[in-house]
Structure 1
């Protein structure tokens, strides 16, 4: 019987590292799995009820690289686009495949630190929004780092400041995971939830993922956990965030990653002098 596993993310829970690992494993000479990472436009089409796109992915499910290999379908958007997920799961079940699903979770504060360090620190609208919330409570936002402003705004009851680019919030993991489990359970699809391991965990993310989907891989595939998403130095993040707050034009989302990375190297090579009292 074919085995199809849906990896649902969610976003900022190691999906990029997992997908890079899946591609490496599928392309290896002795591949232990097959992988499909749906295109965002296809997910959007299936979410809107496009049956032709669903049939195309159903055909892909039936055409794995080798019948004995599990097919992993992975995309963090599937956690949000539940219409698309249900359509894919039903297609897998109709083919008689042994179907299961897997997702990871992390603390909301960790999630927000991660998304702030990648995206939010260079979004003028979000920076102005959180600064405005703090000022409405007579709090000077410039006394805090950018991510601290977001956490304070959430503590003041404005959970929406943590939304992602699509407007989704992930501030109640337990409720959303319970809803997902009920939805998949109605289709007799087992759903496993793992806590995102820390980088120094005894069983790090890729080893944990491989164990959960029941595959054996060589150590090289598991130890190569190079970061896929851009990560910037805290000094650069605060410089950009504060510059936006002060009215200066700064690179936005998806802009000037190389410049920011170069600035990060400069900060490390020529650190700011420590002030003396």
Structure 2
């Protein structure tokens, strides 16, 4: 059977691992498979014509995988791809993933938002409006608190899209495909400690066999993450950074490799854990709808009763700040910053 597999991401849901693996190894699968990385949101008539011609050339038993994490934000592009190629294939399946919102938000901050001057100013303004002393919180804590206080406006993507409302986002995608003969398969990213195997999960949804690549796929990871210590340093100096939200990744990775021990930033993770719980409680009902509608294995723990988020959170933060009094960085973080100050200053505008 010839099939089209459209991988829509989204970003921060292990898209790079899927893309890099199939870019390297699609040609080694038992069934002839071609992988195409799409040009983000700039899919046009020319690129659609190219994909259509490619699908015609493929043998009767084959797979065409097209992918870009930005497709999740543009269901109309997913529809256009499916409509264009479906006459040439027997099966079209759209595959996307999700993850706990608290985990998604933390990952987005560590990847992009920590180096956005505009987003930090937005967070600072929100803290001031609520009468909270921002200097008592790490960058990650600030991001989670601001998200909760703004109904997650401050956690939106740099493109302006708020995509981690999974039920809303996938319902929109489902509606855009409703009158087409297209399958929509939705998964969720779970921790490795729970035995989750992303690439085998993707292959199962796509209905093909990894064959001899199976062992390699189980251990394959694409992205090298940034050190929390480097992220915190950059966030604290964001006004002086000489890199933008999507720039300087090579330098950030180079500096992160200096943090061999992957030093924690805060002296305690108690607040991060509590804030993550608030976030999952906020999305509890919507997540339950999402799991039921899209047959997704539940990826969140049941929370107790619902609460008034803003009032309860501000009360809890006032108590917390009274106890904290000052931001207590982990001693390992302070040692790391002191030891590597000269190297870290490469992130900053010279002479700033």
The TM-score with structure 1 as length reference comes to 0.86
Give matches, 1:1-277, under 5 Å: 1-28=1-28, 30=30, 33-40=33-40, 43-46=41-44, 51-64=45-58, 66-217=59-210, 218=212, 219-228=214-223, 230-244=224-238, 247-249=239-241, 251-268=243-260, 273=331
Contact 1:112 1:162 in 2 (8 A): yes
Which stretch of the first structure deviates more once superposed, 92-101 or 107-116? Answer: 92-101
Contact 1:6 1:101 in 2 (8 A): yes
Structure 2 SS opposite 1:255: coil
Work out the CA distance in 2 between the residues paired with 1:119 and 1:209.
Answer: 26
Partner residue in 1 for 2:326: none
Contact 1:5 1:99 in 2 (8 A): yes
Contact 1:24 1:221 in 2 (8 A): no
Work out the CA distance in 1 between the residues paired with 2:153 and 2:146.
Answer: 9
| Runs of 4 or more above 4 Å deviation | 29-32, 269-275
Structure 1 SS opposite 2:222: coil
Alpha-carbon distance, 1:243 to partner: 2.1
Contact 1:243 1:250 in 2 (8 A): no
Work out the CA distance in 1 between the residues paired with 2:7 and 2:209.
Answer: 17
Aligned residue pair count = 265
Alpha-carbon distance, 1:45 to partner: 4.3
Contact 2:156 2:162 in 1 (8 A): yes
1:31-82 superposed Cα distances (whole Å, 9 cap, x missing partner): 6522121122xx4243xxxx34322221122223x43122111111111122
Alpha-carbon distance, 1:158 to partner: 4.3
Contact 2:73 2:163 in 1 (8 A): no
Work out the CA distance in 1 between the residues paired with 2:94 and 2:261.
Answer: 45
Structure 2 SS opposite 1:70: strand
Work out the CA distance in 1 between the residues paired with 2:249 and 2:29.
Answer: 34
